[in-house]
Amino acid sequence: MSQSTLGDDDLFGEAAAEMRADVEEHLGEARSALPDPDDVWEADADNVLGVLNGLRSSLDVEGAAEHVRQAKKWYVIGQRAEAFDDPEDLEAAIEELEALIEMVEEAHELVGELTNTMPQLRGALTDAAEAAEAASADEDEDEDEEEE
């Protein structure tokens, strides 16, 4: 084996270690960018709409998703180059984070739908209550007229 080949192998090993470190760093950053569990669970609002808006804001995972994307990009390059001795742990971590991000994104969509629906529901219920009050007032007037 020539000296340049040995040097190339050393460089490849070094590059593989750096790639793994990059993947692990992005996975750590993704975990750090996930919503805080307390922010998702606890609410500080005066009404349902305030709670929903706060929850929707806390379910933002764009930063975490971008870090997972970067981790996956470097993982795929390293995997295709067969640079990782033990790629299974990285693959499992990426899959776990992708599943968690998907769950949070689905929750974000559901909360968004509720955020849009609740004011409409309140308006419809207000209209129905006003119609019921008006009908009740009309009935009271009719009864008063019959008694006279």
How does pLDDT run across 119-137, given as a tens digit for each residue?
A: 999 999 999 999 999 888 8
What does the pLDDT read at residue 10?
86
Look up residue 136 and give its two tokens. 């009740």
**Residues 108 and 92: beta-carbon distance below 8 Å:** no
- Give the relative orientation of helices 3-33 and 62-80 as an angle to the nearest 10 degrees: 160
Rounded to whole angstroms, what are the CA distances from 29 to 13, 25, 52, 60, 64?
24, 6, 27, 15, 7
pLDDT digits (tens, 9 = 90+) for 57-77: 999 999 999 999 999 999 999
3-state secondary structure of 70: helix
Percentage with pLDDT > 90 across the chain = 74
User: Using CA atoms, how far apart are residues 34 and 42, in angstroms rounded to an integer?
Assistant: 16
Averaged pLDDT of the chain: 90
The structure's pTM equals 0.79
3-state secondary structure of 84: coil
What does the pLDDT read at residue 138?
76
